[in-house]
Amino acid sequence: MMSNSPMVSTMMPVHLSINHFLERAGLLFGTNEVISRRPDKSYIHHTYADIYKRTRQLAQALTDLGLNKGDRVATLCWNHHVHLESYFGIPAAGGVMHTLNLRLSADEIAWIANDAQDRFLIVDDVLLPLLNQFKDKCRFEHIIVVPFSGQVHTGPELDYESLLSQTDATHFQYADHHEDDPVSMCYTSGTTGKPKGVVYSHRSTVLHTLVGCLGDFWSLKSTDVVFPVTPMFHANSWGIPYGAMMMGAKLVFPGPHLHPEDLLDCMQYAPPSLALGVPTIWMGLIQTYEAALQTQPDRWRLPKGMRSLVGGAAVPEALIRAFDKHGIWIMQGWGMTETSPLCTVSYPKSEFADASEQEKFRRAAMAGAPVPLVDLRIRDDHGHNAAWDGQQVGEIQVRGPFITGSYHQVPVEADKFSDDGWLRTGDVASVDASGFVRITDRTKDLIKSGGEWISSVDLENALMAHPSIAEAAVVAIPDIKWSERPLACVVLKPGAALDTQALANHLQHMGFAKWQLPDRYELLDQIPRTSTGKFYKLKLREMFPA
């Protein structure tokens, strides 16, 4: 007799879990290394076997301290092995790791910690002065201090290393969980309005990790040496800690030392094969490197063949070309805290194989194509989908299993999500026939002059293509006649001199029409940075109100 019962899958109902990555690392990659740079610039080495053991000890210790499922455990830490242990140890115990951005003001951090209801805090000893500025405003029940500078912590708080050494995790049991249970959370930077919490799940994290590690993107291997300069306190360091654990890649953490000289020193100590950072950091690095080639040619070597994933802000073509001269290929990615973050990557699709050199660089300076599992569309001002013709622009909207569908304890707002549930990113872009996204601006950074839009990103990229310009950021200033006009803030390379006319001539030579040219140019020593190291355009608008 044929049964009429519905067909069901025969697959095991096993939930996706990041605990599996930790178990894999313990089983398969025990001898691979994790290196961290300490505050005194010395290096501390661990193997994945050490990290595996210590992470489970952390999970057991948190459980013994009374952590309940879903409790938030905040971290206030630089990039190092203990932060990696927290990425896995907190969820292993059933907690939710909440990375606090150490570059925010004390009041902002306190607001965020309270909004998330953080119960535990893991903090670097070198960051205790920052913690002391806001601790009284928060309700941390347990503060665990990481003796990162090498001294055992003796205050009333717990010492991380003592806690671990007193904890036997031989019989540690992972907390029961469903794949949709939260593992971590991160707040948006809140450049418009209050920061909002994005909560990632086991499922979203596993899927994001698998996609990121694919061949056309990070192409992560156990033989890789990964140098995450992107902070672990923001957007999960683009997911690289999860990918490295899954693949057993060697990790080199820069600790608190992010100056170009320090990064270059670190790269000599353990030459990376994959490095990640925002464009501003990479601009400083290449300028320092090239200047040193003139005076101390043997001081540093950039690792030949290193891949570099750069994103978080538009990557100027000039930067990609500058690294290419030294054999380093920069791959651009676009995404945001809300999207885990990887959404698009500029990679050499097979159809570009015969493209000219110029075309390859032009594409590398684009945000690239959506990664698998991400649906992407461009919505014009009338709510219609823009054609993928490289011309029509509109807001990027995305949807997918690692894209947030709401914010922590915030009612869903129409300006954040479309009626049919897609995330409204606030980024303005076009997509071409190859599926490559070209970001024109953030909605709030576009310059509206006499009814026409001017792209600040295009002007910045053109300015930074000038050999005498180190950095450039373009913002809108109010204008009675035109509503808004562009103002360009420019940082010249050491010893360079350029006047306004030369700058305008350069832009015209790069193809800009007269009405698109900035009305004003301001020469600065440095462009102010946001808490995540990007150009701080809000601050520039405050500095130059009109």
Burial 180-202 (b: 16+ CB within 10 A, else e): ebbbbbbbbbebeeebbbbbbbb
- Under the binding rule (CB under 6 A), the answer on residue 363 touching ligand ADP is no
Q: Does the annotation count 63 as an active-site position?
A: no
- Under the binding rule (CB under 6 A), the answer on residue 340 touching ligand ADP is no
Q: CB 531 → ligand ADP: shortest distance, Å? A: 7
**What is the pattern of x (binds ligand ADP, CB under 6 A) and - over residues 514-533?**
----------------x-x-
The 10 Å Cβ neighbour count of residue 94 is: 21
Q: Does the annotation count 141 as an active-site position?
A: no
Distance (Å, whole) CA 276 – CA 309? 5
Q: Does the annotation count 413 as an active-site position?
A: no
Q: Pick one of 17, 337, 397, 461: the residue that binds ligand ADP (CB under 6 A).
A: 337
- Of 36 and 99, CB closest to ligand ADP: 99
- Under the binding rule (CB under 6 A), the answer on residue 537 touching ligand ADP is no
DSSP states of 331-348 as a string? EEEEE-GGGSSEEEE---
Furthest CA-CA distance within the chain: 89
Q: CB 242 → ligand ADP: shortest distance, Å? A: 17
Q: CB 492 → ligand ADP: shortest distance, Å? A: 24
**What is the pattern of x (binds ligand ADP, CB under 6 A) and - over residues 210-239?**
-------------------------x----
Distance (Å, whole) CA 322 – CA 317? 9
From the candidates 99, 188, 209, 280, give the one annotated as an active-site residue: 188
- How far is the CA of 455 from the CAs of 16, 174, 452, in angstroms? 42, 50, 10
| Structure-token match 């002391």, residue found | 132
**Residues 250, 46: contact at Cβ < 8 Å?**
no
Residue closest to 437 by CA, chosen among 376, 504, 512: 376
From the candidates 221, 453, 493, 522, give the one annotated as an active-site residue: 453
Q: CB 322 → ligand ADP: shortest distance, Å? A: 17
- How far is the CA of 275 from the CAs of 33, 187, 253, 270, 424, in angstroms? 16, 24, 10, 12, 29
Residue closest to 344 by CA, chosen among 306, 307, 313, 372: 372
From the candidates 338, 395, 460, 471, give the one annotated as an active-site residue: 338
Q: CB 318 → ligand ADP: shortest distance, Å? A: 15
Distance (Å, whole) CA 349 – CA 508? 32
- Under the binding rule (CB under 6 A), the answer on residue 442 touching ligand ADP is yes
Q: Does the annotation count 329 as an active-site position?
A: no
- Under the binding rule (CB under 6 A), the answer on residue 334 touching ligand ADP is yes
As annotated, the active-site residues are 188, 338, 448, 453
- The residues binding ligand ADP (CB under 6 A) are 188-189, 191, 235, 311-315, 332, 334-337, 367, 425, 427, 439, 442, 530, 532, 534
